[in-house]
Amino acid sequence: ARGKEAEKPRSEIKTDDIKVASMVAYYEKATGRALGHMDGVRVVEFADEYEHGWFEKAVDEVVASPEPINAPMPYIGKCLENWKAAGGVTKGRKKGSAAAGGGDDDYEPV
């Protein structure tokens, strides 16, 4: 039963949190992918930990990537971690990818 629950699309998971529901809707519309349960849990964590609007900007990074990103949620998480460490959302992309990590001087804070 647990395996089936993990496979439910995020849209089937009940939430009263409008912020999280908005983040999920943005992700699904921008990427064209349904969000699974485990990724939905990560979105809730992102909503609690990061500034408003950062998640959407990270999703935009995924969509704008010249190379396909097969695992967008870990990539989004890395973007958010890097931006938090840099003190804010950053413009552009790090050499290679925003998920690669590296020094703050690789980004220009917004």
Per residue in 34-56, pLDDT (tens digit) is: 999 999 999 999 998 999 899 99
pTM score, whole prediction: 0.68
Question: Which is it for the CA torsion 81, 62, 34, 71, positive or negative?
Answer: negative
Q: Which amino acid is at 62?
A: V
CA angle 42, 59, 28 (to 5 degrees): 75
Q: Hey, where are the domains in the chain? A: 2-97
- The confidence score (pLDDT) of residue 89 equals 87
Q: Which amino acid is at 57?
A: K
Burial letters for 9-43: b for 16+ Cβ neighbours within 10 Å, e otherwise?
Answer: ebeebeeeeeebbebbeebbeeeeeebbbebbebb
Those residues of the chain that have pLDDT short of 70 are: 1-16, 91-110
